Chains A and B, each alone.
Chain A
Amino acid sequence: MMPFDYHRPDSAAAACERGHGAPNSAFIAGGTNLLDLMKLGVMTPETVIDVSRLGLDGIEEQGEGLSIGATVPNADLADDPRVRARWPLLSRALLSGASGQLRNMATTAGNLLQRTRCPYFQDTDTPCNKREPGSGCSALGGEMRNHAIFGTSEHCVALHPSDMAVAMRALDAEVEICDPDGKTRCLDLDQFYREPGDTPHIETRLDPGDLVTAVRLPAPRGDRQVYRKVRDRASYAFALVSVAAVLRMQDGKIESAALAFGGVGTKPWRDLEVDLLLQGERPSDALFDKAGETLTQGAETHEGTAFKVPLVKRVLKAVLTEATQ
């Protein structure tokens, strides 16, 4: 690991200022992702700013919704009785991720901002456009499995690996950001994350010094919430495919549906066309098949990722069946 300066500011504003002033800096929260990547030489910040003790670790009620502090541990968030009662989707997604030890350390913002698990990104001996812009993409033409089929570009097909973010996407969460000028802004997850395009190294709309301070969860738009994750082993593995669903039923019809997908997108994936297609319809196999078709029509697959198309369709159908029963 390269030597680095370590700072532990005592306010969010001071953290932003530090981050703004030091060009090659990184915030550290739980460190479960950043430290691994630093040890591998993949991330080489010269300044590390510890944000774990800024008092951003509370979960507050905000109207009908919740404001979840940036440094709330994933384990605490999953255990929160309010979350479990009204946003059970989020609890389930969190608990399906990583391991107990990791969830104790991992934080809300860290989870949103965890880097891809593309093995070539993590290997400094192989070209990677995300790690070293312009060097090429080793995954293309190489070993692909944990890679995306939606939102990809010819420069990068890296998957966003988070489970939590998939649930949050279906729950219409917004990220609260504090900037070095002391201003606060909110972005929904669609705006927050960027697709790779020809700048795969730029993953979000965060500017230098921007600190994520919270995630705002609005009141749930449905009481039927399902998270289903498919993986290579029963626990402690990233999603091959996951589906998050938030539905409300009225008189035997789907009043509203919000679906998000993991394991398939360069960012936590959502396709509003799929949501719309379901709205106002009576549940049926044909409808669910159509939803799957609509979702996957633009999929870009490769030898190692082609299986995700049938898989995500089947899981979507099963999830919709469960959520509408």
Chain B
Amino acid sequence: MTLEHQIDGPEDEGFARPDGNGPLGADLERRDGAAKVCGAARYAAEHHPDGMLHGVLVRAPGLGPVRLVNADEITAIPGVRRVFHDARMIRNAAQGGAGKAPVQGVKAAAYVGQPVALVVAEDFATACEAANRLRVEADGADLPVHPKAGEPDPDKTKDKTTGDFDTAFSEAAVTLDVTYTTPAMVSAAMEPHAAVAEWDGERLTLHGALQMLRDNKAELADCLGLAEDKVRVLSPFIGGGFGSKLGISADCVAAALAAMELGCPVRVVQSRRQVFEVNTRRTETSQRIRLAADRDGRLTAIGHSARVSNLPDESFSEPVLQGTAFTYAAPNRLLHSELVRIHRPAAGSVRAPGEAVGVTTFEAAMDELANEAGIDPVELRLRNLPEVEPGSGRPFSSHRLAECLTEGRDRFGWDGRSPEPRQRREGEWWIGTGMAAAVRVNMVSDAEARVTLTPDGRALVESDMTDIGTGSYTIFGQIAAEALGLSPDDIDVVLGDTDLPPGSGSGGSVGAASTGTAVWLACEEIRRAIAGRMECAPGNLTMAEGHATCGNDRRVLQDVLSGQPLKGHGKLAPGAAMKKVRQATWGAVFAEVAVSDVTGETRVRRMQGTFAAGRILNQRTARSQAQGGMAWGLGLALTEALVHDRRDGHAVNRDLAEYHVPVNADVPHLDVRLLDEPDDWAGPLGAKGIGELGICGSGSAILNAIHHACGVRIRDLPATPDRVLAGLA
């Protein structure tokens, strides 16, 4: 049996709802933490089946048609099993949620660095040496590699116009017309993408580092021409993904086809440099923002136009304007986005695709407008909050931005801030503060989970859902414990195996809320069965402390079960709610920075983030997500940029020494406050996604603080010392 639920509205379908007194929401450690720190949690590359061979991917050194020059010589190296130059190998990782093969083929390189061969040997050292010695020649091709040189793809151009932008803009009391650019970025997850493939002649088993297993299974099957039920993918532990592991990656397909051809298990681990170029990066963007307001700072027109890029044949187009569409009211709106086809490594989802760069730039422009209009930046935002979603007129499922702004303002100590820049100095350091709103659309995904109440009074939660370090294991334990009246210690959670019911996967912040709701539904089904056995209405059943109680009838679970397990299967589907309302998560971020007048270096001194994302399922893991997002915002504002060679587009700084993610010394105390309130439109749990919200705006709190500190506006991110210095000088 399966309990299915589709979220069509806020109505109560008789489901139990968390009462706020149970384990749900508690500040609990991640249950997989100990296994991870002591090495007991096995990651993909740590599987070593007997007879395993080692594969190393080889890149195209240039664009255009490629040839392997000395494959025979390499194959003859003792220990080398085969050099694959196989048409089934994939050009780049699949896009998140693709569910089918990405572009395949090895005969021509669409970008420099494309994997075009796999060298398989008996040991890793031999495989590396042989891969180093394999000579690949590329003819070269005159293809555009810079967004300014690319042609917009007409199929990807989007315009959304409301009212009369031009007239409103020309007549406004205050206007702003600025262009911001953001660089390409990468997820830079700690664990490199890796796969160990085993083929038993009929079925393929793949240990991978992947975020969305049900899609990954379908993608892998499609790449190899196998039926989906002939593929099993396991990914119980993942060392960070941030979008880069959403789709099947080159290592998986290469390992799988080599295992099938050679009849031995094959492992392929991407080198750190490959991690930077063969998966998906965040596109660079160029964004023109035009704002018009009356004397009181009420927006009369919003214009936001964005240019992003991707390789030919990639469906993904960074939805830069996603947040702009609903954050502020203005009767006249001009939203335009376009995508150019260029030959840099593929672009795809990186944590908070769309808002991460779109909200960051827009919130920086709002700060500029506040300055122009002489209005406090918090106040400016409060004056422009919409009643309903602009354009569509849909109501919001819940709107907490005003509270985030005012509570954050108080907690940070914003009042009394001088509106003028360059007012505070400590030695050579200019001190300033800045703020930004944070918004992120909330999404719901199909998800299934199974819960089994075992005769000993424990429960087992199962799904192919992944835990990419975010806390899925822990949260599902809490959800089941809450629903079944058990302690989280009584719940076992097994994830990351496509032989289990398909969960949502981890992407787009949907994991905890969508698969979590499926777990809740599975428990609800069990509760209904128990109510049936006790002959009472499900609504009258309470489950607590290992007992089921209906009126005066109180029984220990073991008695209700009488030696038989009881299974529940939950299935969640997005429903009409997504059309009826605008559902989003909200926040406000405040930052204090110091900027050196000598060097242009920026040091963030403190940050405060206040966020509302529905019911908080675990205070600690939610806080960690918000803090991680804020640290990402810091990287976006100050340090991170993937540099592409201007001649052939290759990723130049493709390692962790030269691609600068923030280090501990960069990240100050990050104060996080979560406004915990269930969203009635988010199903019985009332939970929404929180994994991406923290990055949507926090970078601009820093950029705005830089301006307040030293008067320099940085519109080309990141704000590295040289760029700040150019403004100071």
Contacting pair A119 B726 (CB below 8 A): no
Q: How many residues of A contact B (CB 8 A)?
A: 34
**CA–CA, A315 and B129, complex, Å:** 45
* Segment 206-257 of A: residues with Cβ below 8 Å from B: 230-238, 240-241
Q: Which residues of A lie under 8 Å from residue B662 when comparing CB positions?
A: 233
Give, as a whole number of angstroms, the nearest-CB distance from A118 to chain B. 10
Interface string of A299-321 (1 = CB under 8 A from B): 00000000100110011011000
Contacting pair B646 A142 (CB below 8 A): yes
Cβ of A273 < 8 Å from any Cβ of B? no
Contacting pair B721 A235 (CB below 8 A): no
Given A143-B643, A143-B645, A235-B664, also A311-B129 (CB < 8 A): no
**CA–CA, A7 and B125, complex, Å:** 19
Q: Which residues of A lie under 8 Å from residue B657 when comparing CB positions?
A: 117, 238
Cβ of B559 < 8 Å from any Cβ of A? no
Cβ of B533 < 8 Å from any Cβ of A? no
Cβ of B3 < 8 Å from any Cβ of A? no
Q: Which of A146, A311, A318 contacts B725 (CB 8 A)?
A: A311
Q: Which residues of B lie under 8 Å from residue A2 when comparing CB positions?
A: 129, 132
Contacting pair A1 B129 (CB below 8 A): yes
Give, as a whole number of angstroms, the nearest-CB distance from B600 to chain A. 8
Cβ of A3 < 8 Å from any Cβ of B? yes
**CA–CA, A143 and B73, complex, Å:** 35
Given A234-B665, A307-B722, A310-B725, also A41-B132 (CB < 8 A): yes
Q: Which residues of A lie under 8 Å from residue B61 when comparing CB positions?
A: 125
Q: Which residues of B lie under 8 Å from residue A125 when comparing CB positions?
A: 59, 61-62, 112, 650
Contacting pair B125 A230 (CB below 8 A): no
**CA–CA, A203 and B273, complex, Å:** 27
Q: Is the interface of A mostly helix, strand, loop or mixed?
A: loop
**CA–CA, A230 and B273, complex, Å:** 26
Cβ of B458 < 8 Å from any Cβ of A? no
Contacting pair A235 B646 (CB below 8 A): no
Interface string of A128-157 (1 = CB under 8 A from B): 000000000010011101100000000000
**CA–CA, A141 and B645, complex, Å:** 9
Contacting pair B639 A3 (CB below 8 A): no
Give, as a whole number of angstroms, the nearest-CB distance from B716 to chain A. 13
Contacting pair B646 A143 (CB below 8 A): yes
Cβ of B729 < 8 Å from any Cβ of A? yes
Q: Is the interface of B mostly helix, strand, loop or mixed?
A: loop
Give, as a whole number of angstroms, the nearest-CB distance from B96 to chain A. 29
Q: Which residues of B lie under 8 Å from residue A117 when comparing CB positions?
A: 657-658
Q: Which residues of B lie under 8 Å from residue A119 when comparing CB positions?
A: 652-653, 658
Residue of A nearest to B666 (CB): A234
**CA–CA, A244 and B559, complex, Å:** 78
Contacting pair B132 A233 (CB below 8 A): no
Q: Which residues of B lie under 8 Å from residue A143 when comparing CB positions?
A: 643-646, 652
Q: For chain B, which range describes its interface: under 10, 10 to 19, 20 to 34, or 35 or more residues? A: 35 or more
Residue of A nearest to B604 (CB): A234
Cβ of B460 < 8 Å from any Cβ of A? no
Q: Which residues of B lie under 8 Å from residue A1 when comparing CB positions?
A: 125, 128-129, 132
Contacting pair B639 A233 (CB below 8 A): yes
**CA–CA, A125 and B658, complex, Å:** 18
Given A2-B132, A125-B61, A233-B666, also A307-B598 (CB < 8 A): no
Contacting pair A311 B666 (CB below 8 A): no
Residue of A nearest to B658 (CB): A119
Q: Which residues of B lie under 8 Å from residue A237 when comparing CB positions?
A: 660
Given A310-B729, A311-B725, also A234-B132 (CB < 8 A): no
Given A2-B132, A3-B129, also A232-B428 (CB < 8 A): no
Q: Which residues of A lie under 8 Å from residue B600 when comparing CB positions?
A: 311
Contacting pair A318 B645 (CB below 8 A): no
Contacting pair B663 A236 (CB below 8 A): yes
Give, as a whole number of angstroms, the nearest-CB distance from A216 to chain B. 31
Q: Which residues of B lie under 8 Å from residue A240 when comparing CB positions?
A: 721-722
Contacting pair B664 A311 (CB below 8 A): no
**CA–CA, A261 and B665, complex, Å:** 24
Residue of B nearest to A240 (CB): B721
Contacting pair B721 A233 (CB below 8 A): no
Give, as a whole number of angstroms, the nearest-CB distance from B389 to chain A. 39
Q: Which residues of B lie under 8 Å from residue A311 when comparing CB positions?
A: 599-600, 721-722, 725
Question: Which of B62, B603, B660, B722: most chain A Cβ within 10 A?
Answer: B722
Question: Which of A3, A237, A238, A241: most chain B Cβ within 10 A?
Answer: A237
**CA–CA, A3 and B726, complex, Å:** 48
Q: Which residues of B lie under 8 Å from residue A231 when comparing CB positions?
A: 601, 721
* Segment 8-52 of A: residues with Cβ below 8 Å from B: 39-41
Cβ of B647 < 8 Å from any Cβ of A? yes
Q: A234-B663, A241-B599 are in contact. List 17 more A-B contacts (CB 8 A).
A: A1-B125, A1-B129, A1-B132, A2-B132, A125-B61, A125-B650, A138-B645, A230-B721, A232-B660, A232-B720, A233-B638, A233-B660, A233-B663, A233-B665, A235-B663, A236-B665, A307-B726
Contact residues of A with B, CB < 8 Å? 1-3, 39-41, 117, 119-120, 125, 138, 141-143, 145-146, 230-238, 240-241, 307, 310-311, 314-315, 317-318
Contact residues of B with A, CB < 8 Å? 59, 61-62, 112, 125, 128-129, 132, 273, 428, 598-601, 603, 638-639, 643-647, 650, 652-653, 657-658, 660, 662-666, 720-722, 725-726, 729
